[in-house]
C-alpha cells in the first residue's frame, strides 16, 4: 500500500488549464496518476488531457468521485483553493506554491486539522509513490531516481531530495512513499504527523528524513520514537551542518530560535533515541543497511 497516494487514488487538478497545470497533469497521468477531472473557474466544458474541466470543486465532486486534490494555483489564491477543496469533503490536498503568505498558511493548517485532512505543502515538490502515481513537480527523469521499494522518505528540501533519494536507490533500496513536507515555516503537515502512517504501512521497512537547520520537526520525530509512537528504523540527512552558529540562512523555514533548531540539536535528538544521521548524502544507503541488518 501507499500512505497517501497510489494508482487508484482519484485525483482532481485545481488550476488544470494553466500552463503549469496542463503541463504537469500530462506528466502525472504518464506516471500512472488517476486524474479524474480538473477545475478552473470560467473554463467549464473544456478538456485537458481528456479530463473534463469544471467551474468549481463542488461541481466537479457532484459529477465524479474525488479523493485527493492537486493545486496549481498562485500563492495568493492558495488559501481559497484549499478551503474550497476542504469544503467539498476532500481530505488529501497537495499544494506546491512557493510564497504563500504566512498568515494564510496558519489558517490552512488550522482548517485542515479541524477537518481531519492532510494538506501537503506549500513550497514542495509534492508526493510520489514510485511506480504507482505522483502529485507534484517531479521531473521527467524521475524513473532513474525514484525506484519502487520499501523505504519511506520525508523531506523539507527540494534541492536535496533527488540527491539523497538517488543514494538510497544506489544502495539497492527503493522508495515506498515520498512526502515533500515543504520548506515553509508553517507546513500543512509536519514530519511527526506522517510517521504514524509509515509505522502502519506493511510495505515500509524504514524511513529517511531529509531535514535541515531551523524549526523543530526533526526533534519532534525523535520525541515520537521516545514515546513509542514510531518504532521502525529512522535515518536522517540534515542540510546546514556547516552553517555558522547564530546565522540565519536559506529559506523561510530555516530559522534557528529559542536555543532549538540547529543541526547540532537535531543530531543529538535523533541519535539519543537510536536514529542514525548521515554526515553526507552518500552515507544514507550505508546507514540503511546497518539499521536493517543487511
Do the domain assignments include residue 222? yes
Do the domain assignments include residue 132? no
Q: At 226, which CATH number? A: 3.40.50.261
Do the domain assignments include residue 133? no
Domain shared by 188 and 242, yes or no: yes
Q: Strand order in 118-121's β-sheet?
A: 47-48, 51-54, 34-39, 10-14, 68-71, 92-95, 118-121
Cα atoms in the Cβ-side hemisphere of radius 13 Å centred on 171 = 24
Based on the residue annotation, tell me whether 27 is a catalytic residue of this protein.
no
Q: Between helices 75-87 and 102-115, what is the axis angle to 10°?
A: 10
Domain shared by 162 and 292, yes or no: yes
Identify the pLDDT of residue 248: 52
Question: In degrees, to the nearest 5, what angle opens at C-alpha 11 toward C-alphas 51 and 128?
Answer: 120
Q: Which of 31, 6, 1, 250 is nearest to 137 (CA)?
A: 31
Provide the domain limits for residue 182.
141-294
Identify the pLDDT of residue 2: 80
Q: How far apart are the first and last CA of the chain?
A: 23
- Cα–chain center distance at 114: 20
Q: What is the total count of domains within the chain?
A: 2
Domain shared by 171 and 268, yes or no: yes
Domain shared by 114 and 237, yes or no: no
Identify the pLDDT of residue 239: 86
Beta strands 175-180 and 126-129: pairing type? Answer: antiparallel
Identify the pLDDT of residue 173: 96
Q: At 88, which CATH number? A: 3.40.50.720
d(C-alpha 191, C-alpha 18), whole Å? 31
Instruction: Tell me the per-residue pLDDT of 83-133, one tens digit each, with 9 for 90 and over.
Output: 999 999 999 999 999 999 999 999 999 999 999 999 999 999 999 999 999
pTM of the entire predicted model: 0.92
Domain end, chosen from 72, 93, 123, is at: 123
Identify the pLDDT of residue 158: 80
Do the domain assignments include residue 129? no
Q: How far is CA 110 from CA 80, 82, 249, 255, in A?
A: 14, 12, 27, 22
Identify the pLDDT of residue 246: 56
Identify the pLDDT of residue 244: 59
Out of 55, 63, 103, 251, the active site residue is: 251
Domain shared by 158 and 106, yes or no: no
| Intervals of the chain under pLDDT 70 | 1, 241-260
Amino acid at each position: 500500500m501507499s500512505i497517501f497516494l497510489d494508482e487508484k487514488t482519484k485525483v482532481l487538478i485545481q488550476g488544470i488549464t494553466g500552463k503549469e497545470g496542463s503541463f504537469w497533469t500530462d506528466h502525472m497521468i504518464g506516471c500512472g496518476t488517476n486524474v479524474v477531472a480538473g477545475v478552473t473557474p470560467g473554463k467549464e466544458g473544456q478538456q485537458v488531457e481528456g479530463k473534463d474541466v469544471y467551474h468549481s470543486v463542488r461541481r466537479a465532486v457532484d459529477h465524479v468521485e474525488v479523493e485527493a486534490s492537486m493545486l496549481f494555483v498562485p500563492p495568493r489564491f492558495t488559501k481559497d483553493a484549499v478551503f474550497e477543496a476542504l469544503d467539498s469533503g476532500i481530505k488529501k490536498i497537495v499544494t506546491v506554491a512557493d510564497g504563500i503568505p504566512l498568515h494564510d498558511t496558519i489558517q490552512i493548517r488550522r482548517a485542515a486539522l479541524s477537518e481531519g485532512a492532510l494538506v501537503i505543502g506549500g513550497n514542495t515538490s509534492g508526493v510520489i509513490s514510485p511506480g504507482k502515481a505522483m502529485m507534484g513537480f517531479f521531473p521527467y527523469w524521475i524513473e532513474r531516481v525514484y525506484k519502487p521499494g520499501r523505504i519511506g522518505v520525508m523531506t523539507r528540501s527540494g534541492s536535496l531530495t533527488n540527491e539523497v533519494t538517488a543514494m538510497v536507490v544506489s544502495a539497492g533500496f527503493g522508495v515506498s512513499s515520498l512526502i515533500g513536507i515543504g520548506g515553509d515555516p508553517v507546513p500543512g503537515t509536519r514530519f511527526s504527523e506522517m510517521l504514524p502512517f509509515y509505522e502502519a504501512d506493511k510495505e515500509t521497512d524504514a524511513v529517511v528524513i531529509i531535514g535541515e537547520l531551523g524549526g523543530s520537526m526533526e526533534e519532534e520525530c525523535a520525541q515520537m520514537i521516545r514515546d513509542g509512537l514510531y518504532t521502525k528504523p529512522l535515518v536522517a540527512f540534515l542540510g546546514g551542518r556547516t552553517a555558522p552558529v547564530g546565522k540565519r540562512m536559506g529559506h523561510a523555514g530555516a530559522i534557528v530560535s529559542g536555543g532549538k533548531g540547529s543541526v547540532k540539536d537535531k543530531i543529538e535528538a535523533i541519535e539519543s533515541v537510536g536514529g542514525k544521521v548521515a554526515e553526507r548524502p552518500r552515507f544514507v544507503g550505508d546507514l540503511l543497511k546497518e539499521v536493517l541488518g543487511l
